Amino acid sequence: MKVGIVGCAGRMGRMLISEILVNEGVTLIGGTEHSESAFVGHDIAKLAGFDETGIIVGSDTDALFSVSDVVIDFTLPQATISHTQGAVKYGTALVVGTTGLNKEEQAAVVKASKSVAVIQAANFSIGVNLLLTLTSQAASVLENDYDIEIYEMHHRHKVDAPSGTALALGEAAAKARGVDLVSVSERIRDGNTGTRSPGNIGFATLRGGDVVGDHSLIFAADGERLELTHKASSRRVFARGAIRSAKWCEHKAPGLYSMRDVLGL
């Protein structure tokens, strides 16, 4: 498959380049950055420390979508809206790892999935997607006398909080209990907050250093506590999952798919 990368000079973009160049079954066809980026015009492989390939970083996303079988997008929400339009225009499959989308931005992703295959995940790690499955199973068995708390920590540069993965864990737990996450979500605790409301799902967010991503989900009851934890030490696990998704979506009918669809979970 011919794979394009939008935002190819970012941390995830470079990791994707590195993985695609050594991965059988996929070919790096191109990558883009915003028009003012200093990396436009550079050889894309050199961004990841490889020898030159002759593939030059561009700024025309339309051109990238027109020659790609699938485009991988780990950018920003507003950019992702534009990329969904390119996917529909050229019939290009889209792998979306962008987090922090609001309702309008998510609606654009859903709209695109009516025309092309879209694989969207808050986290493309295989381990995290197994964690989501375990979360659903645990939450369906452990009733409201087990308080649910979700903890996450990421590097200092992450701009959205809680992380998309933390919210996905919350959604998995809430759905398993038959409740709406928005109505039971507890994001902020400061000062005299009073006692904990039964059935709520709490979130704790930490930022600092170069932490790639730590997530823990805690079921706490009187007398016992169950903790499910995943720690990522390299972005490579996200890149590998995204590339696996790109391969999986070949010849797939239009629709909105998840990483758990890719893994058959």
CB 238 within 8 A of CB 93: no
| pLDDT at 256 (0 to 100) | 98
| pLDDT at 3 (0 to 100) | 98
Tokens of 92: 């290009």
| pLDDT at 73 (0 to 100) | 98
| pLDDT at 265 (0 to 100) | 85
Quote the pTM value. Answer: 0.83
Residue 189 phi, psi dihedral angles, 5° rounding: -130, 120
Q: Where are the alpha helices (DSSP H) in the chain?
A: 11-21, 61-67, 77-90, 103-112, 126-141, 164-177, 181-184, 236-248, 259-263
Cα 130 to the center of its chain, rounded Å: 14
What is d(CA 180, CA 96) in angstroms, rounded to the nearest whole number?
24
| pLDDT at 34 (0 to 100) | 94
> Quick check: helix, strand or coil at residue 120?
strand
The CA–CA distances, whole Å, from 49 to 2, 8, 22, 30 equal: 21, 13, 12, 16
Quickly count: other Cβ atoms within 10 Å of residue 94's Cβ.
27
Q: Which domains does the chain have, with CATH numbers?
A: 2-120+235-263 (3.40.50.720), 126-232 (3.30.360.10)
Which residues are known catalytic residues? 154, 158
| pLDDT at 13 (0 to 100) | 96
What is d(CA 265, CA 130) in angstroms, rounded to the nearest whole number?
8
What is d(CA 184, CA 195) in angstroms, rounded to the nearest whole number?
14
pLDDT digit string, tens, across residues 145-192? 999 999 999 999 998 999 999 999 999 999 999 999 999 999 989 999
Rg (CA), the chain: 19
Q: Can you state the percent helix, strand and coil of the chain, rounding each to 5?
A: 35, 25, 40
| pLDDT at 152 (0 to 100) | 98
pLDDT digit string, tens, across residues 202-253? 999 999 999 999 999 999 999 999 999 999 999 899 999 999 999 999 999 9
CB 35 within 8 A of CB 4: no
pLDDT digit string, tens, across residues 83-142? 999 999 999 999 999 988 999 999 999 999 999 999 999 899 999 999 999 999 999 999
pLDDT digit string, tens, across residues 27-52? 999 999 999 999 999 999 999 999 99
